A and B are shown apart, each in its own frame.
Chain A
Amino acid sequence: MNFATRTKGTAPMSEHFVFLPLLIPFVAAVALLPLARRTRLQRVIAASAVLLLLLVCARLVVALRSQGLIVYEMGGWPAPYGIVFAVDLFAALLMLMGAITAAASLFFAFGSVGPQKERYFFYPLLLFLVAAVNGALMTGDIFNLYVFFELILISSYLLFSHGGRAGQLKESFKFVLLNMISSAFLLVGIGGLYALTGTLNMADLAVKVAALPDKRIAAALAAVFMFSFGVKAAMVPLFFWLPRAYGEVATPVAALSAAVSTKVGVYALYRVFTLIFIHHVEYTHKAVLMALAVLTMVIGVLGAIAQMNVKRLLAFHIVSQIGYMLFGLAMLSVAGLAGGIMHIMFNMIIKPALFLVAGATEQVTGTADLRKMSGVIHRAPALAFTFLAGGLGLAGVPPMSGFISKVTLFYAGFLGGHYLATAVAVGVSFLTLFSMIKIFRMAYWGPQDGLPSKQLKAARGHGLLLAPGAALVAAGLVMGLGGSYLIDYADAAARWLMHPAWYVAGVLGESSAQALLAALEVVAP
């Protein structure tokens, strides 16, 4: 196979450009630290950094569509010895969606967090979170993945406990503990892989693990990684920290975390289970991951139906949607992965949109409890219809892009013969629709008398808060209408994931890729 043929396009992008998605938010965050008292200046810098990041990520996606993979060698050291950043289309797409969400969350934060929090490093923390997420998406070194995970976590911990209400602190404590255990297991897994292969570079790991004569220890390590990333991705049965923690935090934090933090866990699962642990597919993917995916879908949506707090309800939907993404991975086919990637992308847009609109509604009604709110549609019709559009999109009603990603997943499921799992996925979609209608009926529909009169004035100022959420819903709509382009990109990204040898060739060179192919041939006849 000739690996060079995939690199078409005119001018390959400079490898230094790849570093910008990490550098921009990081430098901006550091620059904000001494400006704690000057909130207006903080806003200007943070907003310009995020918008710049958006442009860079968009450019990166376009470049990677033709270039496939960009490898950045730190300090010029070549791959197995030095630390490399290897960005493929999948990572770039997630970075772009993350940047869009970060921009929306930031603009929502301008109108909602208040000067008290702004002075206590709210914006720098938000930017550190974005930088850490981008780092985790870009890195080609499994230990650096751990480091960036810790950076994501420490930013999240601070953002989750920011403000210091008792409920927040309590939920943060649980969140910290669970993630500490998962990080400890991640380290043990990395240590095990290093003991087994003597390398930390993911491409090199792929080659070396494939060449192992006995892969049973690697399979055991796969379970360790599945546990660790599963906690971070909020996969059933490891999701208990999520709904309560997200129910407590400030809206922009919940929105951004919902979009990026759990998705990085999913990304890590996608990465290691398409690159390194691909030797016991019948067991790891088709049995374990598939079962966990189905359980995650069902338990997440059932949890959502039982909730009466809007934020917690939406948080349970994160869990349920993670199930769809894992379903795509569990199929391990181009169609399945493409559907999964599209679902991740769409969720990174629509989930924060719903959180932001729900947050704006909370400002109007003064409560997040569904039983206490009613008739918002009379006071703020735009808010109500934005929520309805977003909610229907999440459930997979066309023309939102959730429809396209779900149909792709169902199609891949039938094609792969996973009839039961696909049927469950279809059923869960209806339950999602049901719970969205429930929010709409209880919060927005009905008589107006549920609203406390002191909230009447607050209702006037919700326009600014609505705008970021509405922009995200509109972005979801655009993604749905431009579905054929979206499928094109997701399909290209999925093809890269399905051909680990391409990734290896980009990072380590062609001879290593041939070695991987030879080893894989031995394993899978």
Chain B
Amino acid sequence: METIVAILVGVLFAVGLYMMMQKTMLRVVVGGNLLSYGTFLALILSGGLNKGMVPVLVEGVEEYVDPVPQALILTAIVIGFGMTAFQLALAYRTYQETGTDDLDELRHEDEGNGAHE
């Protein structure tokens, strides 16, 4: 089970990074998102997978899943949602201001007005 999830983490990282190297801003945002999902899965792995067990710590329970990584992931997911929302807003505003969401064109625009030195 751990091995499968570890491979999945690698796949998510690869796809995410590939998407982040695209020209369209929206794809870049989606790529960033996939990257964070990869990290969430990696965090799950850090506590060890214990299939079918509950993440509780009460007296008498012998077999359980480590609850700490789940708390960490919850925090990380909330932060990730905030970041994604901001990125989408930023990408949309950039599109409104510049009229393009192609990152290559944005770069050329910059060199055109002499700001590049």
Q: Do A and B bind each other?
A: yes
Asked if A181 lies at the interface with its beta carbon under 8 angstroms from chain B, I say: yes
Among A173-194, those with CB < 8 Å from B are 173, 176-177, 180-181, 184, 187-188, 190-192, 194
The stretch that binds B, out of A42-50, A306-314, A478-486, A494-502, is A306-314
Q: Using CB atoms, name the residue of chain A closest to B48.
A: A195
Asked if A154 lies at the interface with its beta carbon under 8 angstroms from chain B, I say: yes
The answer on a CB contact under 8 Å between B86 and A307 is no
Cα distance, A328 to B69, chains bound together (Å)? 35
Asked if A172 lies at the interface with its beta carbon under 8 angstroms from chain B, I say: yes
Asked if A161 lies at the interface with its beta carbon under 8 angstroms from chain B, I say: yes
The answer on a CB contact under 8 Å between A147 and B48 is no
B37, chain A: closest CB distance, angstroms: 10
Q: Which of B20, B46, B109, B110 contacts A191 (CB 8 A)?
A: B46
Asked if B3 lies at the interface with its beta carbon under 8 angstroms from chain A, I say: no
Asked if A157 lies at the interface with its beta carbon under 8 angstroms from chain B, I say: yes
Kindly supply a per-residue 1/0 record for chain B positions 23-48, scoring 1 wherever the CB is within 8 Å of any chain A CB and 0 otherwise. 00100100010011011101101111
The answer on a CB contact under 8 Å between A161 and B48 is no
A249, chain B: closest CB distance, angstroms: 14
The answer on a CB contact under 8 Å between B20 and A181 is yes
Asked if A200 lies at the interface with its beta carbon under 8 angstroms from chain B, I say: yes
Asked if B76 lies at the interface with its beta carbon under 8 angstroms from chain A, I say: yes
Asked if A169 lies at the interface with its beta carbon under 8 angstroms from chain B, I say: yes
Which residues on the B side are within 8 Å of A177 (C-beta)? 20, 28, 32
Asked if A167 lies at the interface with its beta carbon under 8 angstroms from chain B, I say: yes
Q: Using CB atoms, name the residue of chain B closest to A308.
A: B117
- The CB with the most chain B CB atoms within 10 A, among A143, A146, A187, A190, is that of A187
Cα distance, A439 to B87, chains bound together (Å)? 36
Asked if B97 lies at the interface with its beta carbon under 8 angstroms from chain A, I say: yes
Asked if B106 lies at the interface with its beta carbon under 8 angstroms from chain A, I say: yes
Cα distance, A312 to B117, chains bound together (Å)? 10
Asked if B5 lies at the interface with its beta carbon under 8 angstroms from chain A, I say: no
Q: Given the known inter-chain contacts A165-B97, A181-B20, A312-B117, please indicate yes or no for A176 contacting B90, CB distance below 8 A.
A: yes
The answer on a CB contact under 8 Å between A306 and B42 is no
Which residues on the A side are within 8 Å of B48 (C-beta)? 195
The answer on a CB contact under 8 Å between A309 and B117 is yes
Q: Using CB atoms, name the residue of chain B closest to A151.
A: B79
Which residues on the B side are within 8 Å of A188 (C-beta)? 39, 42-43
The answer on a CB contact under 8 Å between B93 and A169 is yes
B84, chain A: closest CB distance, angstroms: 9
A274, chain B: closest CB distance, angstroms: 24
A428, chain B: closest CB distance, angstroms: 21
Interface residues, chain A, with chain B CB atoms under 8 Å away: 143, 146-147, 150, 153-154, 157-158, 161, 164-167, 169-170, 172-173, 176-177, 180-181, 184, 187-188, 190-192, 194-195, 198, 200, 247, 306-309, 312
